[in-house]
Amino acid sequence: MEIKERIAAKLKDAMRAKEADRLSTLRLINAAIKDREIALRGEGDGGELSDADVLAILGKMVKQRQESARAYEEGGRLELAEKELAEVTVIEEFLPRQLDPSEVEAAIKAAIEKVGASSIRDMGRVMGELKGKYTGQMDFGAVGPKVKDLLG
């Protein structure tokens, strides 16, 4: 089942169960997907998103909410931080399992080998390979420095 279809099904389930917080988060996910589709239509791409595109949107939503939760915690607004983290939990249901550090390391080494990278100049190709294969499964902000260390 496609991710968008799973989200729609979970949205209906949340409506039936009258789960207001969960429903709100699922609607936010749907809105983000629709916004991206509309933007693509404006660019003349037909407006259809692939599962990889949806995973990228979900990953971005998780990262935004984690940053907001951190800011709320620092500001002493724990109830808002909890709300953000609850949204993260709902969004993560649709993301694939995150790779553990040893799996990330192995994936980086395999990507370097596959593209034949030998210097820091090849970093873009390595990151492209990783993004194509592991979107939603690793934090590319944290992966970049690791790739740089292995190539540098």
Residue 33's domain is classified under what CATH number? 1.10.1510.10
- Evaluated on CA atoms 43, 46, 52, 57, the torsion sign reads positive
Residue 5 pLDDT grade (very low, low, confident, very high; cuts 50, 70, 90): very high
pLDDT of residue 43: 75
* Per-residue confidence band for 152, with pLDDT thresholds at 50, 70 and 90: confident
Residues 82 and 108 in one domain: no
pLDDT the model gives residue 98:
84
How confident is the model over 112-127, as a mean pLDDT? 89
Asked whether the predicted pLDDT for residue 38 surpasses 80, the reply is yes
Are both 82 and 14 inside the same structural domain?
yes
Clarify whether residues 62 and 24 are in a common domain.
yes
Q: Is the pTM of this model over 0.85?
A: no
pLDDT on residue 80: 96
Q: Are 80 and 140 part of one and the same domain?
A: no
> What's the mean pLDDT in 15-38?
94
Identify the pLDDT of residue 47: 66
Burial of 115 (0-12, 13-18, 19+ CB in 10 A): middle
**Secondary structure (3-state) at 84:** helix
Q: Do residues 77 and 116 share a domain? A: no
* CATH number of the domain that residue 114 is part of: 1.10.10.410
Both 114 and 80 in one domain: the answer is no
What pLDDT is stored for residue 45 in this prediction?
Answer: 65
Per the structure, the count of domains in the chain is 2
- pLDDT per position as a tens digit, 121-151: 988 999 988 988 887 788 888 888 888 888 8
Q: Which among 71, 92, 113 is the end of a domain?
A: 92
String of b and e for 132-142 (b: at least 16 CB within 10 Å)?
eebbbbbeeee
Q: Are residues 88 and 118 in the same domain?
A: no
What local confidence, expressed as pLDDT, does residue 26 receive?
Answer: 96
81 and 123 fall within a common domain: no
88 with 117, same domain: the answer is no
Tokens of 15: 């409506």
Range of the domain at 145: 101-151
Tell me the three state secondary structure of residue 150: helix
Q: Based on the domain organization, do 14 and 67 belong to the same domain?
A: yes
pLDDT of 42-100, one tens digit each? 776 666 788 888 888 998 999 899 999 999 999 999 999 999 999 999 999 998 888 88
Domain ends where: 92, 113, 133?
A: 92
